[in-house]
Amino acid sequence: MRELRLFGPAQLLRLLHINRVLVRHGLDEIVLATHLFRPIGFLRHLLPWNWVPRQHLDLPRGARIRLTLEDLGPIFVKFGQMLSTRRDLLPDDIALELAKLQDRVPPFPGEQARVIVEKAYGQPLEAFFEEFSFEPLASASIAQVHTARLHSGRQVVVKVVRPGIEKIIRRDVELLYIIASLAQRYWREGRRLRPIEVVTEYEKTIFDELDLIREAANASQLRRNFQNSPILYVPEVFWPETRREVLVMEQIHGIPVGDIAELRRRGVDLKKLSERGVEVFFTQVFRDSFFHADMHPGNIFVNAEHPDNPSYIAVDFGIIGTLSPTDQQYLAENFLAFFHRDYRRVAELHIESGWVPAETRIDEFESAIRTVSEPIFDRPLKDISFGVFLLTLFQTARRFNMEVQPQLMLLQKTLLNIEGLGRQLDPELDLWKTAKPFLESWMRDRVGPRSFIRRVKSHIPRWIDQTPDLPNLVYSLLRHASTGGLTVQLHKQEMDYLRRDLRRANRRNFHSVVGAALIVCAAVLLGFNAQNSIDVWQTPLLVWLLGGVGIGLLLGAWPTDA
């Protein structure tokens, strides 16, 4: 567990400011109404600030929390945005309000931007740019953007990190760790929801955003993934001019995806655009396992040069999500099982992946998932909400002690962004029908013969490289075993992996037994044919033989783990 430092003067002043903002928005009532403070809730009537009228007390609690985070500054705004994707942590009314948080802050002076850029380059601004606009094009909590022109004549945008932002982030993150530590210790749901891990994930994400070289690398990778793609364009990065505090990219021109009126005026095919948004999402997640995880309308533009064949333009690559092959496989199978309404398979996948405890009763979990999922099928996007669906699904999973999966948080956030874009562009969009063919094609490629051959080919060099070491490894293992020096240590995660491997081994054995049985049956049938002098080529028994051998070999060699 992370070691927490004691309060310093700066943190103490910040904590006092936070308390003042909480009181101003009437959140002291919400805090004192919680389970932990309910026994002393009567004390709120004795607090001096409750003796005078206050603003915002007539607003719902979700709106008050959102206004509080906006007043506390950009770090808390970003944290609230991340929490809005965690429907397992928050009631629906609060999650929906937090989704409205906007990362808009006043710009800092252009002359400060000049100082930062020249310090990063170690040279005057004019050495790199023929022109530089000191009026910012856009401003956010971490950085702001200026337009410029290189000496080559290329029009670019220059992203500059906000002065002093790293110190502010470190101070506020320390406070978040203290709050998370208290929640994990004294909140009943704390151990399951792992608030310290939530803050750790947030800390990693926000400090990654401070490194603009990392963002430039993300942009380059995404640009390479969609090179010559008709559905998504990623601007070029100018590496010679890019530093940790300064990012220089190609300036793009497009229509903000949220400007529906302008898109309609230009005659853009909104149905095709919405379908391509779904394709962009699933391509990034399942083909590349590398996806833009901040796809809100401010970061997505539309190229309307050909209105009947529109495409997307993405900007701001500070937050990128990735998935392990295992999570990728389980997600794809989960989606397909949902599309086919195979709720038992969904329940089995949750158990196999370790997302819910192994002792969970599959029939009960299947029934709960069916209850949540059935109402949303055969309905257009305008009539359903993934936000509400995910919330209900998480509440159902909570009953079965499902653990939060931090690696899937960014994916949930991105899926909700895609829902919002699709709802704006084409309320009649059938997300299930649009996504299903893509996932089926991906799964065929993933588990088919070509995939098997591809995986074998990729492993051959490693097998060849490791083969000479095998005798020494076997000798070392046997020597330790004979001297009593061989020990086995199993931790919880390793036990989970072991259980999963045993399940896969059982399936593999089953396939092998069935395959062997088919081969034996085919051989017996062929022998029967030979004894009775029947022309095998004129009977269907040859089909039994070839089919039995083929299916037997296939089942015996069929991969049980992607």
Q: Give a three-class secondary structure readout of 29-46.
A: HHHHCCCCCHHHHHHHHH
pLDDT, one tens digit per residue, over 77-98 is: 877 877 776 655 667 677 777 7
What does the pLDDT read at residue 214? 95
Which residue would you say has higher pLDDT here, 432 or 511?
432
What does the pLDDT read at residue 303? 94
What does the pLDDT read at residue 509? 53
Given the residues 294, 342, 496, 561, the one annotated as active site: 294
Q: 144 pLDDT band (50/70/90 cuts)?
A: very high
Concatenating the DSSP letter of every residue in 347-411 gives: HHHHHHTTSS-TT--HHHHHHHHHHHHGGGTT--GGG--HHHHHHHHHHHHHHTTPPP-GGGHHH
pLDDT, one tens digit per residue, over 268-301 is: 999 899 888 888 988 898 888 899 988 877 889 9
What does the pLDDT read at residue 101? 73
Asked if pLDDT for residue 135 goes beyond 90, the answer is yes
In degrees, to the nearest 5, what angle opens at C-alpha 45 toward C-alphas 43 and 50?
Answer: 125
Asked if pLDDT for residue 173 goes beyond 60, the answer is yes
What does the pLDDT read at residue 562? 42
Domain locations along the chain: 321-449, 450-487, 492-562
Measured CA to CA, the distance from residue 307 to residue 255 in angstroms comes to: 12
% pLDDT > 70, the chain: 66
Task: Please indicate, yes or no, whether the overall pTM of this predicted structure exceeds 0.85.
Answer: no
Q: 317 pLDDT band (50/70/90 cuts)?
A: very high
Q: 425 pLDDT band (50/70/90 cuts)?
A: confident
Asked if pLDDT for residue 161 goes beyond 60, the answer is yes
Q: What is the mean pLDDT of residues 24-41?
A: 56
What does the pLDDT read at residue 140? 82
Structure token pair of residue 459? 């492993």
Asked if pLDDT for residue 490 goes beyond 60, the answer is no
278, HSE (Cβ side, Cα atoms, 13 Å): 22
Asked if pLDDT for residue 50 goes beyond 60, the answer is no
What does the pLDDT read at residue 551? 47
Q: Which residues share a beta bridge with 301?
A: 256, 313
501 is catalytic: no
What does the pLDDT read at residue 540? 46
Pairing relationship of beta strands 155-161 and 138-139 according to DSSP bridges: unpaired
pLDDT, one tens digit per residue, over 328-363 is: 777 778 777 877 888 888 888 888 877 778 888 888
CB 105 within 8 A of CB 165: no
- How far apart, in Å, are the Cα atoms of 185 and each of 91, 189, 190, 192, 491? 21, 10, 7, 11, 23
3-state SS, residue 529: helix
Which residue would you say has higher pLDDT here, 279 or 247?
247
Q: 150 pLDDT band (50/70/90 cuts)?
A: very high
Q: What is the mean pLDDT of residues 422-436?
A: 74
CB 276 within 8 A of CB 233: no
What does the pLDDT read at residue 453? 72
> Which of 44-48, 428-432, 496-500 has maximum average pLDDT?
428-432
Which residue would you say has higher pLDDT here, 178 or 107?
107
Q: What are phi and psi of 268, to 5 degrees?
A: -70, 135
Asked if pLDDT for residue 384 goes beyond 70, the answer is no
Identify the residue whose tokens are 């919002």.
Answer: 420
Q: What is the mean pLDDT of residues 171-186?
A: 78
Mean pLDDT in the chain? Answer: 75
Which of 227-231, 448-452, 454-458 is least confident? 448-452
CB 286 within 8 A of CB 328: yes
pLDDT, one tens digit per residue, over 500-548 is: 666 655 555 555 544 544 455 544 444 544 444 444 444 444 444 444 4
Q: What are phi and psi of 145, to 5 degrees?
A: -120, 135
Asked if pLDDT for residue 31 goes beyond 60, the answer is no
What does the pLDDT read at residue 117? 95
